[in-house]
Structure 1
Amino acid sequence: MTRSVLAGIDGSAQSTAAAHWAADEARRRGVPLRLLHVRTWLDDTRPAAEDVADHRSPTGRMLSAVEREIRETHPALDVRVEVVESEEPVDVLVEAADESELLVLGSRGLGGFAGLLVGSVGLAAAAHGNVPTVLVPAAAAGRPAGAQVVVGVDTRAPAADVLDFAFHQAAERRAALRAVHAWTPPPVWGYAGWVAPASEAEQFRVIESELLTRAMTGWQEKYPTVAVVEDCRIDGAAGALVDLSAEAALVVVGRRRRPHRAGLRLGPVAHAVLHHAHAPVAVVPHD
């Protein structure tokens, strides 16, 4: 694997925000930035591949503008621009990401629950990629680096790859890490039907908090500079992460690897957070 950060660009405001986010990440890691454009038949009216290098073409002007912006804001960064012609942009992005540490794409998400606003390419790349994929909404480009990093934790099966990524991101940003475990009390049957057992809620809260503490054991020693906030709450996992994303620099969720490529392999929590989060969202594959 080549040590680099890969950003997919298509000329949209979201992909430009993703390119700037990726540039900041590449600078923090001390690695080159790769800007990749997958050119399809929709790009330009002229079909010849060499036209992409022509700054007079729409694609050429777009690539030059993004590259120029990145070089102006990050003059010491090694920036490489690549163009691949294909009608399968997801396959190209996933394959190219295998040669990098991270894939960064733009997201059309506007925050809240107004609609499902992540593009199909971003969803598919996040679902099938072998490296962490970050989706960046245009509105999130100017978020302060010191804001907290939020990570969703499955206390029954905590994923080391997800936690390691989240801790690393917090350490690089000198930010606090908020580890979120959202849970719902099991219902009991009463005269009013199935209801949450209010009398036993505190007992369940203690158990769930202990599980979260156990899941975080050892990570503070590995990342001693990161302040950890354990956030155990009665809530839906997706709703909690979306709410917290309003004040976060980054939200980190996990996605299980599958032995096949059929279907979108995103779980319901990752899927909902990608659509509705206000902040960039990192989807980290894990076993």
Structure 2
Amino acid sequence: MSDGLVGDRLVIAAVDGSEHSLRALEWARTAALRHDAALMVAHVLPDVSQLYAGRRAALHDRNEPERYADPVGDHVRSVLDAAPELPREVRYEALEGSVPEALRAVGGECAPLMLVMGSRGRGGFAALLLGSSSRAVATTAACPVVVVPHADRDAEDAAAEPSAGRVVLGLHASETADDVLAFAFAEAAARGTTVQVVSAYAIPPGPTLIIDSPFAVIPPEALADETDAVPAEREMLRAQTARLAPLRERYPDVPVEQAAVPGDAAGRLVTASRSAALVVVGRHHPRRRGPLMGSVAHAVLHHAHGPVAVVPHLPTGAEWSTDDF
């Protein structure tokens, strides 16, 4: 691995040695290759190693070895050494502090393209779909956070259709921040795949409404006045089309599919995650910058069958583009 890290394109993989984090490491490795980015493998040292480091620094004891035991770092190095291909630069970073605080700090300092982590760490309970550290980082990090689900979800999802490789974007036409749309389109452009845009609309309950019916995907050119869609669906599709116009112009080679569905947006995105390469959601309403994650992002993170990118609202003047990737 490289001792230095040159360049401004960076993917961070958060690892702890667990199988869940190694799945995230592999996802991050391929993402860095896809975006021609450097890879930083970040590991928060266990408490005993942090105490040793503090003791050595306080005592200035030259007889103590400079390097303390870091089995996670050694294991991850061996895993990457066996990989078929590595990004242009790779660096391992041992961090101190609590896991969420350390990862938030390195994500803020390095301004990475994304921070990738597993959905459940080494200490997670088997019944949990999302660990506390993953939830905390996804809720507060300054950069997009990609959460890769643990292997148990594969067993639960064995009957799902093969991945279509598309990027699924959860869109509230009037509320989702531009940063979220830009991230989804940039990721689809890097993958050479389609963006499937899913929006939900509210409708009054009726005796014939079947909420769990499959949703229809409609190409933009099919949005004619004579469509058979219900008025709420038609208006949602038109709002989608207007909101997506700048992104379609910016990324003319990215195919777009649009879907307007009744009822629960989170449930529809979870369903779509069964055959998606990545689901992209905004962290919260752009005008609500409190510490809480939005309900849709929260639900999708807990139940998605594939990787989920949670994208915060970037500071004024910043933007995602293919030049960033």
TM interval, shorter chain, is 0.7 to 0.9
Unaligned runs of 5+ residues in structure 1 are 188-194
Instruction: Say if 1:52 and 1:58 are closer, same or farther in 2 by CA, change over 3 A.
Output: farther
CA contact (8 A) 2:163 2:276 kept: no
Match of 2:321 in 1: none
1:150 and 2:161 equivalent?
no
Percent of paired sites with the same residue: 38
Moved more, 89-98 or 145-154: 145-154
Match of 1:220 among 214, 237, 248: 248
Aligned residue in 1 for 2:134 = 122
**Are the equivalent residues in 2 in contact too, given 1:178–1:229 (CA < 8 A)?**
yes
Please tell me the residue identity of whatever aligns with 1:63: V
Give CA-to-partner distance per residue, 1:123-152, whole Å, 9 cap, x none. 1111101110000124489x9996100000
Give the match for residue 28 of structure 2.
Answer: 22
Partners of 1:4 and 1:32 within 8 A in 2 = yes
Q: Which of the residues 5, 8, 17 maps onto 2:11? A: 5
**Aligned counterparts of 1:269 and 1:51: Cα–Cα separation in 2:** 49
Structure 2 segments unaligned to the other structure (5+ residues): 1-6, 55-63, 155-160, 210-228, 315-325
Alignment of 1:31-50 (within 5 A): 31-41=37-47, 47-48=52-53
1:74 corresponding residue in structure 2: 85
- The structure-2 alpha-carbon separation of the partners of 1:117 and 1:52, relative to structure 1 and needing over 3 Å to count, comes to farther
Alignment of 1:94 with 2:94, yes or no, is no
After TM superposition, the score normalised by the length of structure 1 is 0.82
Q: How many residue pairs were aligned?
A: 267
Q: Which residue of 2 aligns with 1:180?
A: 198
Aligned match of 2:183: 165
Per-residue displacement from partner, 1:195-223 (whole Å, max 9, x unpaired)? 4797xx82222222211222212211110
**C-alpha contact (below 8 Å) 2:176/2:282 kept by paired residues:** no
> Could you tell me whether the CA contact under 8 Å between 2:29 and 2:86 is conserved in 1?
no
Separation in 2 of the partners of 1:57 and 1:226? 44
Partner of 1:276: 303
TM-score (normalizing by structure 2): 0.73
User: Deviation per CA, 1:15-47, whole angstroms, max 9, x where unpaired?
Assistant: 111111111111122121000100122679x94
CA distance in 2 between counterparts of 1:268 and 1:158 reads 13
Q: Tell me, in whole angstroms, the C-alpha distance in 1 between the residues paired with 2:180 and 2:31.
A: 17
